[in-house]
């Protein structure tokens, strides 16, 4: 009987702990689609960027009229779609706010003076009449450098 009571008490405590955690106030929870989220990077993110560079390796493969719809049958790719395709081909899945995608957005903030007018940083930068294929290549190069820097920082022990 004592064992049954202990088991029931443990179950009740766990239930309360889980239920309490689920009651986190909305202002303390991360937004599901936080455009400023900065997930940790991995070597996989580096592979994604390198693959995107191969996808967009010549001007004839660049689609400068992005809609963020990336059909499997596409033969030209916007910056967004090249990163999406690379992510699928490297990982088998896609996260809109994955580390490589997010870092690409932050690179656009660095290189595009008018980025705040963009509703969608990657799409609108890609479609901006001032953006050239060379600019797209620069974003991918800077993205690769940024991920390498973050990987190096993440591998360092925390400072005391």
Domain boundaries, the chain: 43-155
What pLDDT, on the 0 to 100 scale, is given for residue 74? 96
pTM for the full predicted model? 0.76
For residue 36, pLDDT over 50 is answered with: yes
Tell me the C-alpha distance between 10 and 144, whole Å.
49
For residue 60, pLDDT over 60 is answered with: yes
Q: Which are the contacts of 88, defined by CB distance < 8 A and separation ≥ 6?
A: 94
Helix axis angle, 43-55 relative to 79-91, nearest 10°? 130
Tell me which of 2-11, 60-69, 82-91 is least confident. 2-11
For residue 20, pLDDT over 50 is answered with: no
| Residue 25 confidence class, pLDDT cut points 50, 70, 90 | very low
Burial of 30 (0-12, 13-18, 19+ CB in 10 A): exposed
What pLDDT, on the 0 to 100 scale, is given for residue 5? 53
HSE value, Cβ hemisphere, 13 Å, CA-based, for 129: 0
For residue 160, pLDDT over 60 is answered with: yes
Average pLDDT, the chain: 83
Which whole number is the average pLDDT over 137-145? 98
What pLDDT, on the 0 to 100 scale, is given for residue 127? 97
Nearest to 52 by CA among 36, 33, 70, 38: 70
What pLDDT, on the 0 to 100 scale, is given for residue 154? 87
What pLDDT, on the 0 to 100 scale, is given for residue 62? 98
């Amino acid at each position: 009987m004592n064992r049954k009571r202990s088991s029931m008490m443990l179950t009740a405590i766990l239930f309360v702990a889980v239920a309490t955690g689920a009651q986190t106030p909305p202002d303390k929870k991360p937004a599901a689609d936080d455009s400023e989220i900065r997930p940790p990077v991995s070597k996989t993110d580096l592979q994604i960027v390198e693959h995107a560079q191969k996808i967009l390796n010549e001007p004839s493969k660049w689609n400068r009229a992005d809609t963020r719809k990336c059909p499997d049958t596409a033969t030209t790719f916007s910056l967004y779609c090249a990163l999406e395709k690379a992510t699928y081909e490297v990982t088998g899945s896609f996260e809109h706010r994955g580390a490589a995608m997010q870092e690409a957005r932050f690179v656009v903030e660095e290189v595009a003076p008018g980025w705040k007018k963009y509703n969608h940083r990657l799409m609108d930068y890609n479609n901006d009449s001032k953006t050239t294929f060379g600019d797209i290549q620069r974003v991918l190069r800077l993205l690769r450098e940024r991920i390498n820097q973050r990987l190096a920082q993440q591998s360092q022990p925390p400072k005391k």
